[in-house]
Amino acid sequence: MFNGEIIGADSMQVYRRMDIGTAKPTVEEQAGIPHHMIDVAEPNEPFDAARYSVMARKITAKLCRRKVIPFVVGGTGLYIQALIHGIFPSLPSDPAVRASLKKEAGTFGSAFLHRRLHTCDPESARRIHPNDAFRIIRALEVYQLTGRPLSVQQAEHGFAEQPFAVLKTGLHLDREILYERINHRVDAMIRQGLVEEVRNLLAAGYGPELKSMQSIGYRHMVDYLENRLAWDEAVRTLKRDTRRYAKRQMTWLRGDTEIHWFEPGRINSMQQQITAFLNADR
C-alpha cells in the first residue's frame, strides 16, 4: 500500500544461523517484502547500537532516495533510538580493565558483577539482565574509567539529533493476552527445532560465553544441553524470562511520548494515520 520496505530493529535478528530463537521473518515473508538488517553478522561478531545505527542509516537514506518508505520494525528500543537520534560518542575503553572484569565474571558469575553495577549505576543495572555479561562488563568498565555511570552519560547526550521525519506506531495488547501468546510462541519455537538450532551453533564453535548466545532462549537451551537445567525447568524459565523481557520492553517504549498506540487489529486506523503523516511530509 505504501511502497515500503522493512528495516529490522531487533538486536538478535541481525545474527545469521539464529533463526528460530529470534522469531526471524520466514523466507516467504522476506520474499514478499524486502527486509534489511536481517542476517548481517555472525554470532561471534561484535554488534551494538552504534554499528546498527551506521548500517541502518545508510539503508534508510538509500530507500528515501528511491522514494521508498522505510518501515523500521522491531522492539529493540536502543537500536531504534540510535537510528533516529544518533548514538552518544564513544566512551573510553581499556583492555586491561575489561580483561579483569571478564576474569571476575568467569570466577564469580555475571550476577556478582550485576550486583556491583546496581551499586554504582542502578539505572543501567535495571536495564541489563543479570546474565548479560557483555553489557554488564561494559557499563562497569565505563564507570571505572570515568567515575560516572554509563546511564548518566547516555542521558546527558539526550539523543537530540533527528535527521529523519518519523512516525512512531506501537502495538498494545492486554498483558494477560500478551503473556499467553509468549507462552505459545515458546512452545512453537521448541516444536520448530530450537534445541537443534542451539546444538548446531555450539557444534559450529559458537560458545555460550558469546553475547549472542547469552540472549533469551539460547542461554536456556545451552543450560539444558550442558545439563545445568532439567528440560521442564529450562522451558519454564525461558517463558518466565521472555515475559519479564516483554515487561521491560514495554516500560522502555511507554517512556516515549511520541509513540501512537494501537491494538493490533486496528489496521484501518493505522493506515489512515500513516497516510496523513506521508501527505503532511510532502
- List the chain pLDDT tens, one digit each, 282 residues: 999 999 999 999 999 999 999 999 999 999 999 999 999 999 999 999 989 999 999 999 999 999 999 999 998 988 998 899 877 656 678 889 989 999 999 999 999 999 999 999 999 999 888 888 888 998 999 999 999 998 888 777 555 566 789 999 999 999 999 999 999 999 999 999 999 999 999 999 999 999 999 999 999 999 999 999 999 999 999 999 999 999 988 888 888 889 999 999 999 999 999 999 999 856
Instruction: Set out the domains of the chain in order of their start, with CATH numbers.
Output: 4-87+159-280 (3.40.50.300), 95-157 (1.10.20.140)
Judge whether 215 and 189 are in contact, CB under 8 Å.
no
List Cα–Cα distances, 179 to 182, 236, 251, in angstroms.
5, 13, 15
For residue 139, give the H/E element and its range: helix 133-146
What does the alpha-carbon distance between residue 57 and residue 196 come to, in Å, rounded to a whole number? Answer: 35
pTM, full prediction: 0.76
What does the alpha-carbon distance between residue 63 and residue 6 come to, in Å, rounded to a whole number? Answer: 10
At 281 the pLDDT is: 59
At 92 the pLDDT is: 74
What does the alpha-carbon distance between residue 99 and residue 214 come to, in Å, rounded to a whole number? Answer: 18
Judge whether 241 and 177 are in contact, CB under 8 Å.
no
At 135 the pLDDT is: 86
At 188 the pLDDT is: 97
E strand map for 20-152: 35-36, 69-73
For residue 179, give the H/E element and its range: helix 175-192
